[in-house]
Amino acid sequence: MGFSEAQEELVLRSWKAMKSDSESTALKFFLRIFEIAPGAKQMFSFLRDAGDAPLEKHPKLKAHAVTVFVMACESATQLRSTGDVKVREATLKRLGATHARAGVADAHFETETHRSCSSLNVQVVKTALLDTIRDAVPDMWTPEMKAAWEEAYDQLAAVIKEEMKNAAAAEEQTKNAATAAEETTNAAAAEEETTNAAAAVDAS
């Protein structure tokens, strides 16, 4: 099913209404993420270093929330015009690497609850996003608006998750190359040792 002009309009209209109060929307988004998954706080370096300072005082707090909203809006526009989500190559590479490094798992992007994992309920960013929009624009909120945001978010998340896999694979390759190089060095050293030992035997 393609993304319609009406769906794009729903996403952009609600974002426009929220944008005027993006400061408090961003804060609510974050608080909701940490309500759902308290453990997720540890993944954000700037929060790890923040000690006990209240979240709402944190200067970097807004950036991630606003980026997720803005990029989901851009996805909605792209989905309507081309049926596909494309993120600029350099941005995508960085996003893949940052999220993989921070320990973000595919599950953090989804809405399902992994009941087997009771300590960390992983219905994180997507649920937090939808809840935040619902509470920010209650008069506009409809099942159609929810579906439009879900679609835009899902397509964007799929692109980032794919890039996270690439980043993880590249890191693994670098590690393997380093191990292989080390093994070659060790083998060369062992060979030299054998040669030296043989020479010592010859000399004696």
Shorter beta-carbon distance to ligand HEM: residue 45 or 184: 45
User: Measured from the CB of residue 3, what is the shortest distance to ligand HEM in angstroms?
Assistant: 16
Q: Residue 158: which residues within 8 A CB-CB, separation 6 or more? A: 85
User: Measured from the CB of residue 38, what is the shortest distance to ligand HEM in angstroms?
Assistant: 12
User: Measured from the CB of residue 85, what is the shortest distance to ligand HEM in angstroms?
Assistant: 10
User: Measured from the CB of residue 52, what is the shortest distance to ligand HEM in angstroms?
Assistant: 18
Question: Where does this chain bind ligand HEM (CB under 6 A)?
Answer: 40, 43-46, 64, 67-68, 71, 94-95, 98-99, 102, 104, 108-109, 124-125, 156-157, 160
Sign of the Cα torsion 106, 111, 116, 119 reads: positive
Of the candidates 53, 73, 63, the one whose C-alpha atom is nearest the C-alpha of residue 22 is 63
Q: What is the DSSP string of 62-109?
A: HHHHHHHHHHHHHHHHHHHHHSS----HHHHHHHHHHHHHHT--GGGG
Shorter beta-carbon distance to ligand HEM: residue 44 or 149: 44
Shorter beta-carbon distance to ligand HEM: residue 117 or 190: 117
The structure tokens listed for 138 are 């209650």
Residue 185 backbone zone (phi > 0: left; psi -120 to 50: alpha; other: beta): alpha
User: Measured from the CB of residue 166, what is the shortest distance to ligand HEM in angstroms?
Assistant: 14
CA distance 144 to 152: 12
Shorter beta-carbon distance to ligand HEM: residue 50 or 137: 50
Do residues 131 and 8 lie in contact, with contact meaning Cβ atoms separated by under 8 Å? no
Shorter beta-carbon distance to ligand HEM: residue 27 or 95: 95
